[in-house]
Amino acid sequence: MESLKQVTKDILKAIGSTPIEIEIKKDNSLKDKELLIIDVKLEKAEDLLKENAEGLRALQHLVRILVSKQDSEQRFILLDINNYKKEREEFLTKLVEDTIKKVRKTKAPVTLEPMSAYERRFIHMKLAEQTDLVTQSTGEEPERRIVVRLYP
């Protein structure tokens, strides 16, 4: 865990960001892998969070690569900066609720905004609980989006 914290700190330092705090939590929700959540607090996180958090995703990818080279253990790593992902998941949950209401009311398909693979998966999982609705991803990256419609 200390090596994971150090790798994260080193990458942030290399890009000119000094973390205020780095906290690593274990989550046992995955069956076959250990899930580690790295919560980073930064004073200035705007550059990493702009343009749909492309910088955050790139940073997470770098951390995963460097950690996998140091450690052969099967781990899944999620990186969050200033609670961006947590707040985004709250937004997406509200979006799902609103979309469900709209599709049921209008009986017409609803196409959501382009999203990252992680966010699309989150939406698909939330909507999988609805037996009267079906979801489908359409388009090509970075414009890939979800269409929600009534089950035929």
The label of the residue with tokens 């966010």 reads 119
- pLDDT (0 to 100) of residue 117: 86
* Type of residue found at 72: S
pLDDT at 73 over 80: no
Q: Do 75 and 115 belong together in one domain?
A: no
d(CA 54, CA 147): 23
Q: What share of the chain is helix, strand, coil (3-state, %, to 5)?
A: 45, 25, 25
- Average pLDDT of the chain to the nearest whole number: 90
Looking at the fold, whether 146 and 104 belong to one and the same domain comes out as yes
Paired tokens of 145: 């989006």
> In CATH, what number is assigned to the domain containing residue 31?
3.30.300.20
77 and 90: one domain? no
Which amino acid makes up residue 110? V
Task: Output the domain CATH number for residue 114.
Answer: 3.30.1370.50
> Within this chain, do residues 15 and 54 fall inside the same structural domain, yes or no?
yes
| Residue whose pair of structure tokens reads 């929700």 in the numeric block | 29
Q: Lowest-confidence range among 8-22, 24-38, 54-68? A: 24-38
What pLDDT score does 116 carry? Answer: 86
* 90 shares a domain with 68: no
Share of the chain above pLDDT 70, in %: 95
Q: For residues 77 and 60, is the Cβ–Cβ distance under 8 A? A: yes
Per the structure, how many domains does the chain have? 2
Residue 33: predicted pLDDT: 74
Q: What is the pLDDT of residue 74?
A: 65
pLDDT in tens, 101-121: 999 999 999 999 999 888 999
Are 9 and 66 part of one and the same domain? yes
Per-residue pLDDT, averaged over 63-89, amounts to 85
The sheet with strand 19-27 has its strands ordered as: 19-27, 34-42, 75-81
Q: Are residues 125 and 67 in the same domain?
A: no
Same domain, 9 and 68: yes
Domain that holds residue 9: 2-82
Measured from the Cβ of residue 124, the count of other Cβ atoms closer than 10 Å reads 15
**Confidence bin at 92 (pLDDT 50/70/90):** very high
State whether 6 and 68 are in the same domain.
yes
